[in-house]
Amino acid sequence: MNKLKILLTITAIGILLHVLHFISLIYMWDYYTELYKATEDRVVFGKYNFIIGYVSSVILFIGLCLSFKCIYTIIKQGYFTELARKLMRLAGSIFLFSGVITSIFDIVRVANGMKESVAIEIILVDFLLTIVGLIVLIIADMARTGYQLKSENDLTI
């Protein structure tokens, strides 16, 4: 249980960092819009880069919130509950989707002239997010099996 509490704390820190990121975007909105207007001719997606980055941050924030709720549910109710399994599956799907989509965007950016040394690191982080999504989905399937076994065991008693 201590490891789950540590994971819950790390997830809470991730959520807090995303909230601070959103606050900084709101606070420095004029600066960011001028920055993107100045560079939109030199980048692949132009003025949509800001929107793509913002949407991917929101998707990750939602995934982190679902992960927090899932871990909290596991700590309070136990490993093999239907709610924990559903939340885990949803969070894994979000992480997988986000990792695949951002990987595709970054591969397109590299193909169209983005600095490869920077882009390769970003693509590797996107693939890591994809792998995390797959791992969470695998754990969700294991939790489903555990929930079924627990349900059968409860019926036997």
pLDDT digit string (tens) for 106-126?
888 777 776 777 778 888 888
Percent of the chain with pLDDT over 90: 32
Amino acid of residue 71:
I
Contacts of 90 (CB under 8 A, 6+ apart): 66
Tell me the H-state helices in 28-115.
29-39, 48-77, 82-111
pLDDT digit string (tens) for 125-145?
889 999 999 998 898 888 888
Count CB-CB contacts under 10 A for residue 114: 18
Cα–Cα dist 69/15, whole Å:
12
Q: What is the pTM of this model?
A: 0.79
Q: What tokens were used for 105? A: 């965007």
